[in-house]
C-alpha cells in the first residue's frame, strides 16, 4: 500500500513531477528491498539467533496502558455515534484552521548570502559613495556569523554591462555567512539596518532566502487580454488601482514601465480624398520618409568591410514636430499637387508600449504586485480575486490570473490527482488481499483520521498548506493504513476461529496495541530530525515531516478507537450454525 501511493507520480505533469518523482522512486525501491529482506533474511537470521528464548513478562507501565485502553475502547463501543460525530467535526475544523494559515508553493529556505544596497543622493560623487560603503563594510564585518564581505559600485557594474557612464551614487555589498550561524538572514539583515541607521544613505538588505516560489514566478499577476491596446492599457491602469487597495500587496505595476511616447496620426478620409489620396497612400508616403536607411552596397578591404548607406538629408533631419508640416504628393483637378500633412490629419501624443505581448495570439498587458512582508500569497490572492469580482469588463476583454498563486494551484491539482489515484490503488490492493470489499473500506477510515492530525500540525506550527505538505499527506495515507490492516486482519482471524464479534474487537485491540504503537513511533522518531534540524535547506521538507509526524501520532491513537467502532457498526455478527 505504501509503494502504490507513489505510483501515480509518473502521470503528474510540470514542476510537481520534476520535484518529487526521484523521491517517490527512491521510497518505492527502498520498500521493495526491505520487503525482500523481511521475507528472506530476517526469518533466516531468526532461525539461527533466536533458538533460546524465554517468555518476556509484560511491564507494569505497558500493562496499565493496555488496561486503560481496553476500558476506553469499551466506552467508545457503547457510544459509537458520538465518537464518529466528534471525529468528523475535528476533521472539518482542522481543515478550516489549516487553510487559515494560507497557501504556499514551498517554504522559504535560509541561505548563506545577503545583498546590501547603499544609495546616496543624485549629487553624490563616486568618492562619497566609496567612503560611505567602506564604513558600512567595516560595521558589517564586526557582526557575528559574517564570513566574507565584498563591495562593488553600481556605476562600475553598469559600465561593465553596457559600456556607459554610471552616476556613482550607489553600491552593492555582498555578504556571506558561516554555515553554522546563530541568526537567520532576516535577523542579520535587521541588525545591519540597525547598525547603519546613522549614515547619510539609504541602506536596504535583501536577505537572499531561497524563495522556491520563484520557480513559478512570484507575487500576483493579472493579465488583461483583448484587441485594442488603448482599451487594454486603460483597464490595466484601473486594475492596478484596485490591486493597490488590497491589504498585503506592494510594488503594484500597471505593466507600463517599458512604455514611451508616440505621435499618433489620424487621417481625415474626406479631406484626403480632395487631394486624391486614400488613408493607405498617406501612411505609405509617411512610412517611406520615416523608414530606416538600408545598406546600398559594401566596400571590402583586406581587414574590414565598410557598409555604404544612401541617406536623404531631408529625411535624416525629420522630427515629430517637422512631421506635421511634411508635404505629401496628391492629385487635384489641375493634376499633381502637394499638400501639408497637417491639413488632412490630426496629431496626438500618447503613451504607448514599446512592445506588444501576446498569449495564444491574444494581446495582453500584465498587471503585477508583490506580496508585502508578513502576508501570505494565497490569502492575498484570494482577497484580490474577491476585489476584482465586482469589476465589469468590456465585451471582448478578460482578466486572466497568473503568477505564484496560479503555480501553487496547478501544482496542488497535480498532487490531489496523485492522492485520489493512490487511494484507489490502495483500496484495490487491499480488496485483492482480503478477498472482501468491506474490510478494506473500514481500513480506509484511517486516512481521514491521519489527515486531521496533519492539518492540526500545520495549524499549530503556523505552516502554510504547501505542495510539500500535500506530499506529506500522500505519504501519510500509505503509512497509516498499515495500522488498520493489522487490527482488521486480526479481528477477522479471531471471528473465523469462532470468537464473538465484540470479544474479537477487544482482544484484537489488546493484542495489536504493541505492534501498532511500535510501527508509528519508529516512523515518528525517524522523521523528527527533519522537524528540529537547523541545517540550510531543512525548511523545505519541514512541513512534510510535520504533516507525517502529527498525522501518524493523532491517526494512530484515533485508529485504535475509531476503527473498532466502524467495524462494530458495519460487520454483522455471524449466525450460529
Torsion region of 30: left, alpha or beta (phi above 0 gives left; psi -120 to 50 gives alpha): alpha
**Average confidence (pLDDT) over 526-538:** 77
Band of pLDDT at residue 34, cut at 50, 70 and 90: very high
pLDDT higher than 60, residue 163: no
DSSP 415-428: HHHHHHHHHHHHHH
pLDDT at site 300: 76
pLDDT at site 577: 43
Highest mean pLDDT among 2-16, 63-77, 154-168, 404-418: 63-77
**Average confidence (pLDDT) over 499-526:** 89
**Average confidence (pLDDT) over 531-554:** 82
Of the chain, the percentage scoring pLDDT greater than 90 comes to 12
d(CA 182, CA 172): 24
Band of pLDDT at residue 90, cut at 50, 70 and 90: very high
Taking residue 255's Cβ as centre, other Cβ atoms within 10 Å add up to 23
With beta carbons less than 8 A apart as the criterion, state whether 309 and 294 touch.
yes
Band of pLDDT at residue 314, cut at 50, 70 and 90: low
pLDDT higher than 90, residue 51: no
**Average confidence (pLDDT) over 253-264:** 72
Q: What is the mean pLDDT of the chain?
A: 81
d(CA 260, CA 252): 19
pLDDT at site 436: 87
Task: Estimate the crossing angle of helix 80-99 against helix 538-570, to 10 degrees.
Answer: 160
**Average confidence (pLDDT) over 405-433:** 85
Cite the beta strand spans of 25-182 per DSSP E: 103-104, 113-119, 146-153, 170-177
Lowest mean pLDDT among 130-134, 319-323, 440-444: 319-323
pLDDT higher than 70, residue 348: yes
DSSP 175-225: EEE-TT-SS-HHHHHHHHHHHTTTSSSEEEEE---B-GGGGG--SEEEEEE
With beta carbons less than 8 A apart as the criterion, state whether 502 and 77 touch.
yes
pLDDT at site 159: 41
**Average confidence (pLDDT) over 2-13:** 80
Helix (H, G, I), strand (E, B) or coil at 327: strand
Residues 6+ apart with CB under 8 A from 184: 110, 207
d(CA 201, CA 197): 8
**Average confidence (pLDDT) over 111-125:** 80
pLDDT at site 43: 94
With beta carbons less than 8 A apart as the criterion, state whether 200 and 118 touch.
no
pLDDT at site 110: 65
Q: What are phi and psi of 365, to 5 degrees?
A: -125, 130
pTM: 0.69
Record the cell numbers describing residue 566, joined without a space. Answer: 466502524
With beta carbons less than 8 A apart as the criterion, state whether 350 and 292 touch.
no
Band of pLDDT at residue 40, cut at 50, 70 and 90: very high
pLDDT at site 191: 87
pLDDT higher than 80, residue 276: yes
Length of the chain: 577
pLDDT at site 322: 66
pLDDT higher than 90, residue 279: no
Band of pLDDT at residue 171, cut at 50, 70 and 90: confident
Amino acid at each position: 500500500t505504501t509503494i502504490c501511493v507513489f505510483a501515480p507520480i509518473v502521470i503528474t505533469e510540470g514542476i510537481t513531477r520534476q520535484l518529487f518523482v526521484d523521491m517517490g522512486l527512491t521510497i518505492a525501491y527502498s520498500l521493495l528491498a526491505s520487503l525482500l529482506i523481511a521475507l528472506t533474511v530476517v526469518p533466516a537470521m531468526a532461525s539461527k539467533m533466536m533458538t533460546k528464548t524465554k517468555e518476556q513478562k509484560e511491564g507494569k507501565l505497558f500493562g496499565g496502558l493496555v488496561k486503560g485502553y481496553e476500558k476506553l475502547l469499551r466506552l467508545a463501543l457503547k457510544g459509537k455515534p458520538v465518537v464518529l460525530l466528534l471525529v468528523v467535526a475535528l476533521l472539518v475544523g482542522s481543515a478550516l484552521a489549516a487553510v487559515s494559515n494560507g497557501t504556499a508553493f514551498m517554504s522559504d529556505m535560509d541561505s548563506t548570502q545577503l545583498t546590501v544596497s547603499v544609495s546616496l543622493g543624485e549629487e553624490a560623487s563616486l568618492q562619497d559613495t566609496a567612503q560611505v560603503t567602506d564604513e558600512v563594510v567595516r560595521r558589517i564585518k564586526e557582526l557575528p556569523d559574517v564570513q566574507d564581505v565584498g563591495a562593488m559600485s553600481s556605476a562600475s557594474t553598469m559600465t561593465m554591462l553596457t559600456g556607459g557612464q554610471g552616476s556613482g551614487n550607489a553600491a552593492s555589498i555582498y555578504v556571506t555567512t558561516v554555515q553554522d550561524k546563530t541568526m537567520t538572514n532576516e535577523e542579520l539583515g535587521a541588525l545591519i539596518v540597525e547598525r547603519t541607521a546613522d549614515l547619510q544613505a539609504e541602506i536596504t538588505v535583501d536577505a537572499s532566502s531561497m524563495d522556491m516560489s520563484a520557480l513559478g514566478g512570484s507575487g500576483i499577476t493579472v493579465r488583461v487580454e483583448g484587441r485594442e491596446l488603448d482599451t487594454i492599457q486603460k483597464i490595466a491602469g484601473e486594475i492596478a488601482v484596485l490591486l493597490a487597495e488590497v491589504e498585503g500587496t506592494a510594488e503594484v505595476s500597471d505593466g507600463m514601465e517599458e512604455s514611451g511616447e508616440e505621435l499618433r496620426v489620424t487621417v481625415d478620409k474626406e479631406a484626403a480624398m480632395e487631394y486624391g489620396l486614400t488613408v493607405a497612400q498617406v501612411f505609405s508616403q509617411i512610412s517611406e520618409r520615416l523608414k530606416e536607411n538600408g545598406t546600398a552596397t559594401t566596400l571590402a578591404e583586406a581587414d574590414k568591410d565598410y557598409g555604404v548607406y544612401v541617406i536623404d538629408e531631408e529625411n535624416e533631419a525629420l522630427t515629430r514636430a517637422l512631421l506635421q508640416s511634411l508635404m505629401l504628393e496628391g492629385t487635384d483637378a489641375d493634376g499633381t499637387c502637394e499638400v501639408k500633412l497637417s491639413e488632412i490629419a490630426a496629431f496626438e501624443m500618447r503613451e504607448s508600449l514599446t512592445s506588444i505581448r501576446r498569449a495564444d495570439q491574444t494581446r495582453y498587458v500584465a498587471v503585477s504586485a508583490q506580496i508585502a512582508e508578513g502576508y501570505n500569497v494565497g490569502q492575498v490572492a484570494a482577497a484580490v480575486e474577491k476585489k476584482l469580482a465586482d469589476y465589469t469588463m468590456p465585451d471582448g476583454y478578460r482578466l486572466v490570473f497568473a503568477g505564484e498563486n496560479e503555480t501553487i494551484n496547478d501544482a496542488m491539482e497535480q498532487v490531489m490527482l496523485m492522492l485520489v489515484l493512490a487511494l484507489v490503488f490502495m483500496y484495490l490492493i487491499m480488496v485483492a488481499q482480503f478477498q472482501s470489499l468491506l474490510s478494506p473500506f473500514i481500513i480506509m477510515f484511517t486516512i481521514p483520521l491521519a489527515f486531521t492530525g496533519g492539518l492540526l500540525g500545520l495549524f499549530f506550527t503556523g505552516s502554510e498548506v504547501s505542495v510539500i505538505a500535500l506530499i506529506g499527506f500522500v505519504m501519510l495515507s500509505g503509512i497509516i493504513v498499515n495500522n488498520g490492516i493489522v487490527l482488521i486482519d486480526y479481528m477477522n482471524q479471531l471471528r473465523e476461529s469462532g470468537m464473538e464479534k465484540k470479544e474479537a474487537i477487544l482482544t484484537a485491540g489488546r493484542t495489536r496495541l504493541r505492534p501498532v504503537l511500535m510501527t508509528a513511533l519508529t516512523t515518528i522518531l525517524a522523521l523528527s530530525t527533519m522537524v528540529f534540524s537547523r541545517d540550510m535547506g531543512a525548511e523545505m521538507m519541514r512541513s512534510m515531516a510535520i504533516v507525517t509526524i502529527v498525522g501518524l501520532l493523532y491517526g494512530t491513537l484515533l485508529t485504535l478507537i475509531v476503527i473498532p467502532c466502524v467495524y462494530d457498526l458495519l460487520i454483522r455478527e455471524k449466525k450460529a450454525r
